[in-house]
A and B are shown apart, each in its own frame.
Chain A
């Protein structure tokens, strides 16, 4: 069964024995928990759209291992065309969910681990790539959602993993056995962890010899013995417990992050893809981060499309839509959003084949893409807030609107243009609030800043790839200065 239906995905999650803490309590049934459920719906959409022939071209691909039709989230990119389709798929899903649909981190992780294990084996004579390929086959055949886990808590950022006061601040090997390894530590900010079947762990930084125990990559079932999750809080999250559907802004979809803890977890050798080869940790980080920086040129743009649409509707509903500055602001939002998309497409179109046959994006352009993502969504959000007006943050609640007496007052005084129900206006303003300040702002704003690496991480890569020396030579040639 190479592709699960959306319902089969939900059912498969119910079978997992995940240990999840949320606001200090162990969650009995994560799938139906009102705070978690919208994020599950977002991942479920990655299965639902793959079932729909209308979206098959973007949502599905042909496995290079089996020739079967598979969900693109389980696919290794075999061409630049695949890289471009990945970005388009992410834009589509951003449009359909207006949230983080979480499944990309695993897709980016498998693509990075594939090429790095291949090159590691060629150089060191290890057999990680074969193990990885077996896992990939299972992932494709069972249409699994895999969490890509890179970021460690990191403690003192000025110290290497092996120099931290507490050795567990980076995931590390505490025991090597004949049949496998035992690992301890944690991964922070894990997108979609609680909606995943498996997790794929990677080191978070380039490491040296002293950090060899920390240079570890492996897969584990999400409910493996010793793994537990502490669910990340989002602003306005408890609105989901109130029962209404206006104040949440986006009643159906959301995203989530969690702290993932490894309390002496046993990993059999067949699931280990790096163990001590510290000299390859940097390459793995660079490639995973590169793919994920490309991803944002799709997903954030899709969410941006919804936000621009919401701002335009807010203007329609309050009668300001004909004002030239409003039109101009909407144009600017589109310009910024499409610039992000252009970067996502460009780094894909300029992608290239690695030794394993899997295609990698152009790393300079992917880093430029993400650097823009650390800025433009903030400006798009600022313009959306400008157009929305102050009511977006001062508006009474849905309960007030539904109240038998004051409801009429809310209805009367919150009305914009005649003919548009007040409720519509409230819904659109709540959606803008959700994306710019509420639960979805985690994905649209702060994740745009830090997800796939904080801005400085891209600047380091841009400095490394920017080829300033060649540019100097170009200038010398034009200015009549002798060349090197």
Chain B
């Protein structure tokens, strides 16, 4: 792990009544981000980027989470309040994270 390795945390909701498979989604996201050289953490509020991952629209990961870091919010089959198919979520989350870091590197406003 290098000093300036990007950290991304996947913050879970609690998982009482999920309408999407959070475990599988997290594994897919972790796998793709690992390959991009990021360090993937769980349930950390102070990572460089936080993915709130809730199994349903109640959105407990975000609701009870406490982080002011750049973020993407998954609540059931939606990303940042826009409905998506469950199978589209992983790719969209990864795009969101990559876009953010690309903008950061180019010093563009996030």
Contact = CB atoms under 8 A, between A and B. Distances in A.
A352 B59 contact: yes
Contacts of A350: 56-58
Contacts, number: 30
A467 B58 contact: no
Majority SS at the chain A contact face:
mixed
A465 interface: yes
A362 B80 contact: no
Interface in B51-93: 56-59, 75, 80-82
Interface residues of B, number: 12
Contacts of A470: 18-19, 21
Contacts of A362: 56-58
Contacts of A263: none
B48 to A, nearest CB: 24
A122 B58 CA distance: 23
A341 B16 CA distance: 23
A119 interface: yes
A469 to B, nearest CB: 10
A117 to B, nearest CB: 14
B82 A119 contact: yes
Nearest to A352: B57
A29 interface: no
Interface string A107-125: 0000000000001001000
Contact of B19 (A351, A353, A355, A467): A467
Given A465-B19, A470-B18, A355 B81 contact: yes
Contacts of A318: none
Given A362-B57, A362-B58, A354 B18 contact: no
A465 B58 CA distance: 13
Interface in A303-357: 350-355
Nearest to A350: B58
Given A470-B18, A470-B19, A353 B81 contact: yes
Interface in A454-484: 465, 467, 470
A258 B16 CA distance: 44
Contacts of A355: 80-82
Contacts of A467: 17-19
Contacts of B75: 352
Interface in B1-38: 17-19, 21
B83 to A, nearest CB: 8
Nearest to A363: B57
Nearest to A355: B81
A363 B56 CA distance: 11
Nearest to A466: B19
A360 B21 CA distance: 22
A193 to B, nearest CB: 33
A354 B19 contact: no
A325 B110 CA distance: 67
Nearest to A473: B21
Most buried by B among A122, A350, A360, A362: A350
Contacts of B56: 350, 362
B64 to A, nearest CB: 12
A258 to B, nearest CB: 35
Contacts of A351: 57-58
Contacts of B59: 352-353
A216 to B, nearest CB: 23
Given A352-B57, A355-B81, 19 more contacts: A119-B82, A122-B82, A350-B56, A350-B57, A350-B58, A351-B58, A352-B81, A353-B59, A353-B81, A355-B80, A355-B82, A362-B56, A362-B57, A363-B57, A465-B19, A467-B17, A467-B19, A470-B18, A470-B21
Interface of A: 119, 122, 350-355, 360, 362-363, 465, 467, 470
Interface of B: 17-19, 21, 56-59, 75, 80-82
16 contacts: A122-B82, A350-B56, A350-B57, A351-B57, A352-B58, A352-B59, A353-B59, A355-B81, A360-B57, A362-B57, A362-B58, A467-B17, A467-B18, A467-B19, A470-B18, A470-B21
